[in-house]
Amino acid sequence: MRTLAGREETPYFPDHGNDGYRVARYDLELEYRVGPNRLSGTARLSARATAPLDRFVLDLGAFRVGKVLVDGSPARFRHRRGKLHVVPARPVAEGAAFAVEIRYTGNPSPVSSHWGGLGWEQLTDGSIVAGQPTGAPSWFPCNDRPDDKARYRVAVTTASAYEVVANGRLMGRRRVGANTTWVYEQDEPMATYLASVQIGRYQFLELDGPVPQHVYCPPAAEARVRHDLGRQGEMVAAFTMLFGHYPFDAYTVVVTDDDLEIPVEAQGMSIFGTNHLDGRRGAERLVAHELAHQWFGNSLTLARWSDIWLHEGFASHAEWLWSEVSGGEPAAGHARRWHARLSAQPQDLVLADPGPRRIFDDRVYKRGALTLHALRATVGDDVFFRTLRDWTAAHRYGTVTTGDFTALAARNAGARLDGFFSAWLYERALPRLP
């Protein structure tokens, strides 16, 4: 089987992410003024050197940096073109833990990309963070690479008229004068692009289900939000049976008052626009898709962006599984229809290495789903679903590669699957469905 192993892969986004250290924890203290879109922050990073460091680099957008401390001592720094270069007063030894504090201020703006702006963005009345894949530096200094997952504490102070939603557990909120400070803790390791803050004039709802489900939405949209998310608890139950335990303490959905082009993925959270919730469950497949990302993308996160099918293919396949278990069209029907559509499209995409500009190509989503459906047909339901549950259990809160998955699938099947995976993952031509 032809794989990417054995050669040095060029990163898809070489301007993001840095070597020489790993971050264990981000502690972010943010003050945000909604009207002028003004953010002031103090970021404290707990890190460990993986090499001797007399200098190191962080990713950070167009802010004014006021001070940088390393282990409490002022450090020299230079900030330009999205990179914060830091020279500590004393070199950091390989293997040593060290702490970095950065104070910064400015107007957060999205990071430019092939897909438009990514990261912190103003809404009509509030803000949204849509960080995938390289938008995290738009609002905090970080090591912006998906294989450097860390724990987070995020405290946001803003006008009391607004609700603040961030990843993890709400630890408390404190009102002082006209402002309120919200504090969230994300205990499970999280990639930088999945870190999120949502700010708006939202109403809080709770839904029934096997795990706590929190919803923040515009008050005027409550009825259709409750209806369109009415089967989300059943989805959690179905996916828990198929994929293994839900990986987080709760699941949060934010519905913005603005229309959004597509839903937004974050860890423990999904963000929809009011245009996605029409009161008729017209976008229920998207509800299933975003929920499935909590297993495939958030708990299990790709180690390199070339393996994006491990997120989007699995979440798209989950749409078909939800259709099947909820009494809709069986997964096989979806597979046949999408196979016919993809067969009529250009055969010029390699699923396991689509290229940086094609990571969100619809063929990555649907061919990824077809690959999983074909694997199910090849090995049988018992082996297939055991493989999915073993996959999520073995790599819970970790990073994964295509090679990890193909090795597990072959081991569980007790058979060589080299030819199967070579055709589906590494050949451009779309194989026939089994």
Location of structure tokens 């939800």:
322
pLDDT digits 0-9 by tens, 200-230: 999 999 999 999 999 999 999 999 999 999 9
Domain boundary residue, one of 150, 177, 196: 196
Cα–Cα distance between 329 and 334 in angstroms, integer? Answer: 7
Q: Are residues 39 and 178 in the same domain?
A: yes
Q: Are residues 26 and 174 in the same domain?
A: yes
Using the predicted structure, report yes or no on whether residue 96 has a pLDDT greater than 80.
Answer: yes
The reply to whether 2 falls in a domain is no
Using the predicted structure, report yes or no on whether residue 3 has a pLDDT greater than 90.
Answer: no
Cα–Cα distance between 239 and 296 in angstroms, integer? Answer: 11
The reply to whether 132 falls in a domain is yes
Q: Are residues 410 and 323 in the same domain?
A: yes
Domain count, the chain: 3
Location of structure tokens 């939000």:
225
The reply to whether 307 falls in a domain is yes
- Mean predicted confidence (pLDDT) in 27-52: 98
What pLDDT shows up at residue 9?
66
Percentage of the chain exceeding pLDDT 90: 98
The reply to whether 230 falls in a domain is yes
pTM to 2 decimal places? 0.96
Q: Are residues 183 and 211 in the same domain?
A: no
Q: Are residues 173 and 227 in the same domain?
A: no
How deeply is 239 buried, as exposed, middle or buried, from its count of CB atoms within 10 A (0-12, 13-18, 19+)? buried
The reply to whether 416 falls in a domain is yes
The reply to whether 315 falls in a domain is yes
Q: Are residues 276 and 311 in the same domain?
A: no
What pLDDT shows up at residue 2?
38
- Which structure tokens are listed for 207? 């839904």
Q: The domain spanning residue 97 has which CATH number?
A: 2.60.40.1730
- Mean predicted confidence (pLDDT) in 385-413: 98
Please give the residue range of the domain that contains residue 71. Answer: 21-196
Domain boundary residue, one of 294, 329, 352: 294
Domain boundary residue, one of 161, 180, 196: 196
The model's confidence at residue 101, banded by pLDDT at 50, 70 and 90, is: very high
The reply to whether 157 falls in a domain is yes
The reply to whether 76 falls in a domain is yes
pLDDT digits 0-9 by tens, 150-188: 999 999 999 999 999 999 999 999 999 999 999 999 999
Cα–Cα distance between 86 and 53 in angstroms, integer? Answer: 10
Measuring CA to CA, how many Å separate 287 from each of 67, 291, 344? 43, 6, 28
Q: The domain spanning residue 390 has which CATH number?
A: 1.10.390.10
Q: Are residues 160 and 217 in the same domain?
A: no
